Amino acid sequence: MQELRDQLAPRGKLLTASVSGVIDDIGNSYEILELSRIVDFFNVMTFEVDLGNPPEFPNAEAAMQEFVTAGAPAIQLNMGIATYGIGGESGPIVQIPDVWAKYEVCQVHPTGVSIDSDATIIAKVAYIQTEGFGGAYVKSLDLDDFNDNSCNQGDYPVIQLIKDSL
């Protein structure tokens, strides 16, 4: 990573790392303090660790705090928020096993699919602000209701809710 940083820095380019939001993976996979001196941001993949527990997200909170405790400055951490749900076979359009796009959930209202509620998204944004984290990391813009065909909440309702919650 340092060699990559050395190549990017003179060009004024950023170096970010997407890292696991699973507690067991964090301590075993990363030298967080050393990496925090090399990368500009960590995109912490917390988007699937607590789906279905609205509006609480204790595993995501624990993951973010694990990075801080290990030496990463809070401002370097971006918390993951998903535009999709997990569970069931697959959505009727996306056809990825166990993945349901936001617009599919709005259309079909499947049982057994966990997706962040509006309350959870609002709570995550508040947590990001309270803890002084760098921001949100949104996975899969294409799985949000990008053209308001399904959710009747306007284009990109997840992105819009994040923005409106700031």
Per-residue pLDDT tens over the stretch 62-114? 999 999 999 999 999 999 999 999 998 889 999 999 999 999 999 999 988 98
C-beta of residue 87 within 8 angstroms of C-beta of residue 113: yes
DSSP of 38-94: T-SEEEEE-TTSSTTSTT--HHHHHHHHHHHHTT--GGGEEEEEESEEE-SS--TTT
Length of the chain: 166
Token pair belonging to 28 = 């075993």
Residue with tokens 């705090």: 65
C-beta of residue 17 within 8 angstroms of C-beta of residue 35: yes
Percent of the chain scoring above 70 in pLDDT: 98
Token pair belonging to 143 = 């799985």
C-beta of residue 77 within 8 angstroms of C-beta of residue 42: yes
Q: What three-state secondary structure class fits 19? A: strand
Per-residue pLDDT tens over the stretch 111-158? 889 888 899 999 999 999 999 999 999 989 999 999 998 999 999 999
